[in-house]
Amino acid sequence: MSRSRVVILGAGVAGHTSAAYLKKWLGREADIIVISPRPDYNWIPSNIWVGVGLLKPSQVTFALPPVYARKGITFHQAKATVLHPEGEGEDATPFIEAESTLEGHLGELLRIPYDYLINATGPKLAFEATPGLGPKGHSLSVCTAPHALEASNALDEAVARMKKGDRQRFLVGTGHGTCTCQGAAFEYIVNLEFELRARGVRDRADITYLSNEYELGDFGMGGIHIRRGGWVTPSNIFTESLFAERGLRWVTQAHVKGLEAGCANLEFLSGEDGEERFDLAMLLPPFKGVGLKALDRQGADITERLFAPSGFMKVDADYQAKPFESWRASDWPHTYQSPAYRNLFAAGIAFAPPHPVSRPRQSPKGTNITPAPPRTGMPSAMIGKAVAHSIADMIRGAEKPTQTASMAEMGAACVASAGANPFRGTAASIIVFPIVPDFERYPEYGRDMNHTFGEIGLAGHWIKILLHHLFIYKAKMLAFWSFIPE
Amino acid sequence: MVTEYSSFEQGRRAQGFFATKPTPFTKFLRTSILFQMVRFLVINIKMIKVIRKSHG
């Protein structure tokens, strides 16, 4: 009997976790094949520190091919393009088409058969959704290590101008009405402010947070409530306090219509237009699926059957359109198996969420200004591990997935740096359970108040440093890596 | 001497005026090494509990 082949698209948190556990659990029983357009692993949460010049890109990335070679995982540096879940013509073996991105083999077509496939491609950074957005336009980003390095260089130039006596305007936030990842923008702005103070130029900086959130602290999760100091406090109070303490201005309910050099043109939820002028802007893009196509055995396009219009893959979620009041925690996927093909799964950001978590809102002009749901590192890793476990069991004879990892049944720990210094730094340590609120189980706030928690302090910064080293160690699959929890 | 604020600065000050702000003692605790060592343990225990609960 030939060995099973498990192909994983993407080597980010979800894909890499899946590959590592599949190899650990299946050993020689299966060939584990990873396809990723980039040869590096990037611990994305630490990109923030690259973006303010505290770390180099080499400290948040490492080369994957030597790690995979050591562990016996096959790696192809290529971009997956077309999925053939039924095979082609007479041959019913499913396969994936990919284009090589390896220097010297650019554009070469690969055709890789599989028995099981995990789509863990992560998001496409859709800068094109807003004219002028992104490093090729008029704003910066910290979504990748090279982007973060550009942001750091631009910050150095701005600081140099400030040291000559110029005043500088910084604009940090979301670059479109449907962005997610407000947490990253939050971390960047508070780190930026801390760094400007450390460099002695804070008094010449006007720093503004620009967000598509209805209120500060929404974070695409509809906000959270924290029990602390004898009060249950909503996250908008928590976030406003942090911003007010640091002298940061904030603008919410904003969609960025377009960017010109030094100016962001806005549309607000109220329907009014506005603008924010800046000297340096770090604005996050919205996320989309990477644009995988799918063809059936006859070559007919079945992309719409497998993928949502956003490009993310449909899995075992309830995608039926219904009003906000009818949304249920149980709408969220459990096994991440495609309803169309039993050997097809999506993990991490690549799966299509059934609906936002924050209440959807539109401006009178019909512009959607609603944060998309967050899918950070911890849930991505837990989903990747659960999917890997299910596939390992199915290879060994299970009829269906054996593991679940619903975001409505798992918590997340988020440590948002608010200034990086081992003695003077702070970070906001936030724990939520569950990530997607469940108002049937927890009627008042949607979350278990005994496990939902937040505080700011130096301890958070120490934890952030600890997590940085632990998770890079784990991703390198060094001794006892699997003892480190997701 | 009368300080003249720009309209931007006036707006910023008004926005932050109604926000909750930490007292000097709270700020001290946030970076107090001894207190934060205790918080480090407490936060880690809380995180481990949530991880264990999430893994089912």
Choose the closest CB to A411 out of B32, B43, B50.
B50
User: B10 falls in which pLDDT band (50, 70, 90)?
Assistant: low
B interface mutation test: which of A431, A435, A474, A484 has the most B CBs within 10 A?
A431
Phi and psi angles of residue A152, each rounded to the nearest 5 degrees, phi first? -65, -45
pLDDT in tens, A384-398: 999 999 999 999 999
CA distances from A451 to A292, A380, A485, B51 (A): 38, 20, 18, 10
Interface with chain A: mutation pick from B32, B44, B47, highest number of A CBs within 10 Å = B47
Pick the residue of B3, B50, B52, B53 with the most A CBs within 10 A to test the interface with A by mutation.
B50
The residue of chain B nearest to residue A453, with distances taken between CA atoms, is B46
Nearest-5° angle of CA A127, CA A412, CA A417?
A: 65
State the pLDDT confidence band at A148, using cuts at 50, 70 and 90.
Answer: very high
- Whether B46 sits inside 8 A of A250 (CB atoms) is no
**Mean of all residue pLDDT scores within chain A:** 95
- Those residues whose C-beta lies under 8 Å from the C-beta of residue A202, and which sit 6 or more positions away, are A193, A196
Contacts by A327-331 with C-beta closer than 8 Å and gap 24+? A327/A354, A327/A355, A328/A440, A329/A406, A329/A408, A329/A409, A329/A434, A329/A436, A329/A437, A329/A438, A329/A439, A329/A440, A329/A441, A330/A408, A331/A355
Condensed to tens digits (0 to 9), the pLDDT of residues A360-389 reads 999 999 999 999 998 788 899 999 999 999
Give A447's contacts (C-beta < 8 A, 6+ positions apart): A224, A225, A432, A433, A434, A437, A438
- Closest Cα in chain B, distance from residue A298 (Å): 42
Kindly calculate the radius of gyration of chain A based on its CA atoms and give it in whole angstroms.
22
Q: Which chain B residue has its CA at the smallest distance from A205's CA?
A: B9
Question: Stretch A15-25: mean pLDDT, rounded?
Answer: 98
H or E, element range at A71: helix A64-71
Q: Which spans in A283-432 are helix H?
A: 303-306, 377-395
pLDDT digits 0-9 by tens, A193-222: 999 999 999 999 999 999 999 999 999 999
Q: How far apart are CA A118 and CA A338, in angstroms?
A: 10
E runs forming strands in A285-365: 287-288, 293-294, 344-346
First to last CA, chain B: 64
CB-based contact A399:A393 (threshold 8 Å): no
Q: How far is A424 from chain B (nearest CA, A)?
A: 6
- Residue with token string 């926000």: B19
Q: What is the pLDDT of residues A255-284, one digit of tens each?
A: 999 999 999 999 999 999 999 999 999 999
The number of beta carbons lying within 10 Å of the beta carbon of residue A231 is: 11
Cis peptide before A434 (omega within 30 of 0): yes
pLDDT over 80 at B9, yes or no: no
Which two structure tokens, joined as six digits, stand for A453?
A: 């928690």
Count the helix, strand and coil residues of chain B and give each as a percent rounded to the nearest 5. Answer: 75, 0, 25
CA of A239, closest CA in chain B: separation in Å?
9
Across the range A115-137, mean pLDDT stands at 97
Chain B nearest C-alpha distance from A245 (Å)? 6
Alpha carbons within 13 A on the beta-carbon side of A162: 22
The first and second tokens of residue A20, run together, are 């590592």
DSSP A43-68: -GGGHHHHHTTSS-GGGTEEEHHHHH
The pLDDT value given to residue B7: 61
List the single residue in B20, B36, B49 with the smallest CB-CB distance to A451: B49
Give yes or no for a contact between A426 and A438, defined as CB atoms under 8 angstroms apart. Answer: no
pLDDT at B2: 44
Dump strand ranges (E) for A290-447: 293-294, 344-346, 412-417, 427-432
Beta strands (DSSP E) in A179-279 are 205-210, 225-228, 231-234, 249-251, 254-260, 263-268, 273-277
C-alpha pair distances (Å), A140 with each of A126, A150, A153, A318: 13, 7, 10, 36
In the structure, what pLDDT confidence band is assigned to residue A462 with cuts at 50, 70 and 90? very high
pLDDT, tens digit, 9 for 90 and up, residues A226-248: 988 888 999 999 999 999 999 99
Integer Cα distance of A305 and A314 in angstroms? 8
Is residue B34 within 8 angstroms of chain A, CB to CB?
no
Q: For position A225, what pLDDT does the model report?
A: 95
Which residues lie below 8 Å from residue A80, measured CB to CB, with a gap of 6+? A9, A35, A96, A97, A98, A121, A290, A292
Q: pLDDT: is B17 or A16 the higher one?
A: A16
Percent of the residues in chain A that have a pLDDT greater than 90, as a whole number = 94
Q: Is the pLDDT of residue B11 over 60?
A: no
- Higher model confidence: residue A180 or residue B5? A180
Nearest to B40 among A451, A463, A485 (CB): A463
Q: What is the pTM of this model?
A: 0.93
Q: What is the pLDDT of residues A179-193, one digit of tens each?
A: 998 999 999 999 999
CB contact under 8 A, A431 and B29: no
- The shortest CB-CB distance from B46 to any of A409, A431, A457 is to A431
Residue A415 near residue A460 (C-beta atoms within 8 A): yes
Mean pLDDT of B18-35: 94
| Contact B37/A at CB under 8 A | yes
In three-state secondary structure terms, A21 is helix
Q: Is B10 on the interface with A (CB under 8 A)?
A: no
User: How many angstroms separate the CA of residue B24 from the nearest CA in chain A?
Assistant: 11
The encoded tokens of residue A325 equal 């009041």
